[in-house]
A and B are shown apart, each in its own frame.
Chain A
Amino acid sequence: MSKKIADHNPGRKLFSSKIAAIVVWTITALWTIPTFGLFATSFRPKEDVFMSGWWHIFTSPHFTLSNYQAVLFGQGDAGSVGGVIPYFLNSIAITVPAVVFPLVIATMAAYSLAWIRFKGSDALFFFIFALQIVPIQMSLIPLLQLFTGGAHIGHITIIPALGIAGKLAGIWLPHTMFALPLAIYLLHNFISALPRDLMEAAYVDGANHFMVFRRIVLPLSIPAIAAFGIFQFLWVWNDLLVALTFSGGTQNISPINAKLASLVGQWGSHWEILTAGAFITIALPLVVFFSLQRYFVRGLLAGSVK
């Protein structure tokens, strides 16, 4: 890093001082210690885990893969019947559509709310924005009733019973519904800040809304889409409540989090297994985060600076 650039950038100068570096490294180390402790514990034998703290690995290193074997393949006495691999795949099957659906709908909705003038578009946007205040916990049971029984007024069926409780679609739909208000709001702010000249030039050249959306808006919005994609991915991947409620107790579509919660055993005596389970669970989110992190920082600033 040349001195010249640092001189011109006060922020960079502040962070390049020695004291700042020490502070940053100390905080980083403090924040990482618990995760590292968890990581170290996941490789320690059960007896050691219960006898002594994880820092003893430095004085008496003694490692095993048995925790990972127990979690992945259901070996050992942990009694995790069958291992967690099917649940890991369930989590992927739940997460990918639950990220793609809201992104597709929200991008299109954000474009039309930002660039297509129609009566009441502002009111509609405010209404969607306001929907964010609906707490998900409050709507779980009414939604579930809607899925299993439909909606009726007297004998007139307003919405037929969808029959998707206990199926994957029954988990995708709530996740999509609850992601949309924030996704539309975030993308609307980004898309509405795109230069008007670009759009007008395209309209003059004879492009219709779909072409403008496809050729101009979509490529320019990638940072915002990726940022929201990461948000939504992490939220869905880490979710336990929605999946538990809408899987209707069906084990074969339960995500890995539901299995993780039960790994500890009937009497809570298997937490050495939990540590390995936790690391298997966070593997995929870590990959997603690191591969998309440059969008994350850019996307967080979406719409904040013109």
Chain B
Amino acid sequence: MSISKKAMRAALSLAAVSVIATSVAAVSPAQAATASCAGVGTYAKQAGATVEIFNSVIGQENARYQAALIPFQNCTGITINWNGTNEFESQLGVRVQGGTAPDIAMIPQPGLLAKMVATGKVVKAPATTLANVNKYWSAGWKGYGTVNGVFYAAPNSANNKSLVWYSPKQFKKFGYTVPTTWKEMMSLSDKMAAKGQIAWCGGLGSGTATGWPGTDWLEEIVLRTQGAQTYADWISHKVKFSDPKIIAAFDQLASWMKNPKYVGDVSAIATTTFQNAGMGIPTAKCMMLQQASFYAAQYPATVKVAPTGDVWAYYLPGINPAVKTPVEGGGEFFAAFNSKAATQEVQNYLSSPEWAKARIAAAGPAGGWLSANNGVPLSAYTNGLDALSAKYLADKNSTFVFDGSDAMPAAVGAGSMWTELTNWFTGKSTADVASAIDASWPAA
């Protein structure tokens, strides 16, 4: 009896000790001189200050980020600790709760940003950063850095999913022109079908993630027909999959990617891998493939990726004229966990066009890094595909949305939506697919 009493008392006191949360007050040092450097901008000198940017970038990409940050550090005297780890998602939560939060974190999902803001440790963006974002980014982008009406995080890099891959050489040979509206795209498809060509390539296969290309197609149509608001409601399940608006999107997708006239054998789409789906484009085995900008990496070195080469991409046109320049994609955001002067100075720099230009230069001709910052002229891109993607992402009037399945609960966005869309391509009815996904939505 005495043992358990003592044990209880000890356990209780331990629990009391661990429950008590504390906070560390940060004192911002007085700032004095400012420095103005070519290619960087004008910032307060903060010699001796160190700012840690916690992020998920490792390997060569990490080295490119570090190289791009050197001019700013030389100019201001601030030391930037660009701390990349592939344990980012789990470690960020631990560090924020444990009281060792980084100065700035590069957060790749709006959902994670909202989760961090909910801890109360994220501080809102400084005035200059806010002004930069208002000036250089579209409202959609700013919205993803905003939680509950407060703007916290400026966007960093971006990627574009709204592209269609085609072969400029084959288009030239058959006298086709790149369509700029959905109608043109469909009549071009009809033209190809009349010639006996397979207009659309497609593949859902991706190992355990089989089905994700299908979610992108559906998302593109929901965005293009219904606009950003319905799209957002759809992701939060205020609009269900069985809603007539979403069913209509399914029907439109059926007339496109499930249309035997355009794709040949429909059920083959479910079994073809996404990597192989577009391999027939250079040889006109199939003519077009809706895939993201990163699809370029799938082609072997013998295939020339260029505006007049074997493969290139065009922008997937809009459908509903009320939805201006719809673009689906992704990106990262810089959120700060304190309001020290040096931290804010780094935030300001990272939201400037000068930063984006420095980072693009560090990527070199191979490209692979682009920003939706419209202060960056398209001529700054040394890689044509990056420039093409950036043109639509940086458009002030574009309707930008994040990949919807990434923002949905994992049980749906990385689960039932993948499997059910695969089933849909192998013959399951639209109504059954919609109700199956709705049923899998986690409660509360």
Contact = CB atoms under 8 A, between A and B. Distances in A.
Nearest to A80: B59
Interface in A118-159: 120, 123, 126-127, 130, 139-153, 158-159
Contact of A142 (B18, B58, B86): B18
Contacts of A270: 59
B17 interface: yes
Contacts of A120: 2, 6
A162 to B, nearest CB: 11
Nearest to B87: A244
Given A79-B62, A148-B100, A249-B95, A142 B54 contact: no
B85 A262 contact: yes
B18 A123 contact: no
Given A127-B7, A144-B100, A149-B24, A139 B18 contact: yes
Given A144-B98, A249-B100, A152 B63 contact: no
Contact of B85 (A77, A78, A143, A258): A258
A165 B60 contact: no
B190 interface: no
A248 B95 contact: yes
Contact of A141 (B81, B87, B97, B102): B97
B425 to A, nearest CB: 28
A13 B323 CA distance: 84
Nearest to A157: B22
A151 B7 CA distance: 20
A149 B91 contact: no
A165 B59 contact: no
Nearest to A165: B100
A229 interface: no
A120 B3 CA distance: 8
Q: What range describes how many residues of B lie at the interface?
A: 35 or more
Contacts of B57: 266
A104 interface: no
Contacts of B22: 145, 148-152, 161
Question: Which of B7, B84, B85, B99 has the most chain A CB atoms inside 10 A of its CB?
Answer: B99
Interface string B349-363: 000000000000000
A14 interface: no
B87 A261 contact: yes
Interface residues of A, number: 42
A149 B6 contact: no
Question: Which of B54, B58, B66, B84 has the most chain A CB atoms inside 10 A of its CB?
Answer: B58
B63 A127 contact: no
Contacts of B3: 123, 126-127
A81 interface: yes
Contact of B63 (A79, A123, A126, A141): A79
B233 interface: no
Nearest to A273: B59
Question: Which of A126, A165, A266 has the most chain B CB atoms inside 10 A of its CB?
Answer: A266
A266 B59 contact: yes
A148 B98 contact: yes
B406 interface: no
A77 B60 contact: yes
A82 to B, nearest CB: 10
B20 A266 contact: no
Contact of B17 (A146, A148, A258): A146
Given A145-B21, A159-B17, A262-B84, A248 B100 contact: yes
Contacts of A130: 7
Contacts of B229: none
B86 A79 contact: no
B10 A165 contact: no
B98 A245 contact: yes
Contacts of B10: 127
Interface of A: 77-81, 120, 123, 126-127, 130, 139-153, 158-159, 161, 165-166, 244-245, 248-249, 251, 258, 261-262, 264-266, 270
Shortest 10 CB-CB distances between A and B: which pairs? A149-B22, A144-B98, A142-B18, A148-B99, A79-B60, A248-B100, A265-B59, A79-B59, A262-B58, A123-B3
23 contacts: A79-B60, A79-B63, A81-B66, A126-B3, A130-B7, A143-B98, A144-B98, A145-B21, A145-B97, A147-B99, A148-B98, A150-B22, A158-B17, A165-B100, A166-B100, A248-B95, A251-B81, A251-B83, A262-B86, A264-B86, A266-B57, A266-B58, A266-B62
Given A145-B20, A148-B100, 15 more contacts: A79-B59, A79-B60, A80-B59, A81-B62, A123-B2, A123-B6, A143-B98, A144-B95, A145-B22, A161-B24, A249-B91, A249-B100, A251-B81, A262-B86, A266-B61
